[in-house]
Amino acid sequence: MKKKWNTIILSTVTAISIATPTVVQASSTENALSATTQATENIQQKIELYGLKEIQSTLIENTVTQVTYTSRDEYGFETSTNLTITTDINKNITNIISSPSIGLNIPNQGIEEQKRKPGKPTKPTKPVKTNTVPYKLNGGTNRASFINQHAYDRHKYDPTVKSTSSKTQYGKDVDVKKLRESTMHDYDNKWSQTDLSGVTTTTYAKRFNDNISTKDTSTRDHRVIINQNNSAKSTQFPLGF
């Protein structure tokens, strides 16, 4: 019996030693697939983090673009991050390299901050953020309120034409000028980019507390795009979905 017992154990050990390598080894194909999947997930996370879907249509295909993303929190603190974005021939984002934050702007800490006694830090006060949709009778049809003729022709209120997600209209009684000013001065997010020809554009985004468009394309989100090289190519519009 003892001799038989030893034989069984020897056989068992031998089986384990043979099976072990097949468990721990992975094929190069599996490793490559895993790395590709991880890279894709990282890119998607960055696209979400920096809101790059907002400007993806403005990127140039098969090139590298420098973008500065700026966000503002509920206290008015701003942080900016430089991004190097690579696209393929279909404008899909294939790589994003982000640098550390390049600045921090703390509002309302000028004279009052200088008056503060040393050793007694003040608690940041939450500023009053104005998200109320400004009212103006027939404001959606007022040419003078729009940033330029292009924005007026494309996004003015027109009861004879249905507002669509690709060509949104402002609401009939929305103050278009104040919407633009509020979006630029009190934005939620901002993106600045320069293309290969040297044209710089800045996109401002802000969400209001009520609909700024018509019932057909109800939305609280507003966009202003400033073309630093040619103001005629700037625009503003309710963001359709």
Asked if the model's pLDDT at residue 187 lies above 70, the reply is yes
Look at 33-47, 51-65, 67-81, 178-192 and tell me which has the smallest mean pLDDT.
Answer: 33-47
Residues 52 and 153 in one domain: no
Q: What is the pLDDT of residue 128?
A: 61
Rounded average pLDDT over 111-131: 56
Of 51, 44, 85, whose CA–CA distance to 203 is shortest? 51
pLDDT tens sequence across 150-168? 999 999 999 999 999 999 9
Domain that holds residue 171: 128-238
Q: What single letter denotes the amino acid at residue 187?
A: Y
> Same domain for 98 and 160?
no
CA distance readout (Å), 132 to 128, 178, 221: 11, 11, 12
Residue 159: what are its φ and ψ, rounded to 5°?
Answer: -65, -15
Same domain, 36 and 67: yes
In percent, the amount of the chain with pLDDT more than 70 equals 73
Q: Are residues 57 and 138 in the same domain?
A: no
Dihedrals phi, psi of 91, to nearest 5 degrees = 70, 10
pLDDT at 36: 64
- Give the mean pLDDT of the chain: 81
Other Cβ atoms within 10 Å of 9 Cβ, number: 9
Smallest CA-to-CA distance from 170 within 224, 213, 211, 210 is with 213
C-alpha 220/C-alpha 240 separation (Å) is: 9
Per-residue pLDDT for 147 more than 70?
yes
- The answer to whether 183 and 206 are in contact (CB under 8 A) is yes
- Give the single-character DSSP code of 211: -
* Residue 108 dihedral angles phi and psi, to the nearest 5°: 60, 35
Judge whether 21 lies within some domain: no
Cβ pair 236, 180 in contact under 8 A:
yes
In 83-109, which positions are buried (b, 16+ CB within 10 angstroms) versus exposed (e)?
Answer: bebbbeeeeebeebeeeeeeeeeeeee
CA distance 236 to 225: 6
Give the residue with greater pLDDT, 218 vs 122: 218
Same domain for 134 and 81? no
Are residues 90 and 150 both part of a single domain? no
Both tokens assigned to 174: 């929305």
Phi, psi at 190, each rounded to 5°: -145, 140
Where would I find the H helices in 98-209?
111-115, 149-155, 176-185
Assess whether 98 and 158 both reside in one domain. Answer: no
Do residue 139 and residue 221 come from a single domain? yes
pLDDT tens per residue across span 6-22: 323 233 333 334 444 44
Residue 51 inside a domain? The answer is yes
* Residue 61 covered by a domain: yes
Task: Tell me, yes or no, whether 3 lies in a domain.
Answer: no
| Residue 95 within any structural domain of the chain | yes
The pLDDT of 80-108, averaged and rounded, is: 82
Statement to judge: residues 223 and 161 lie in one domain: yes
Number of domains in the chain: 2
Is position 139 within any domain?
yes
* Residue 64 sits in the same domain as residue 148: no
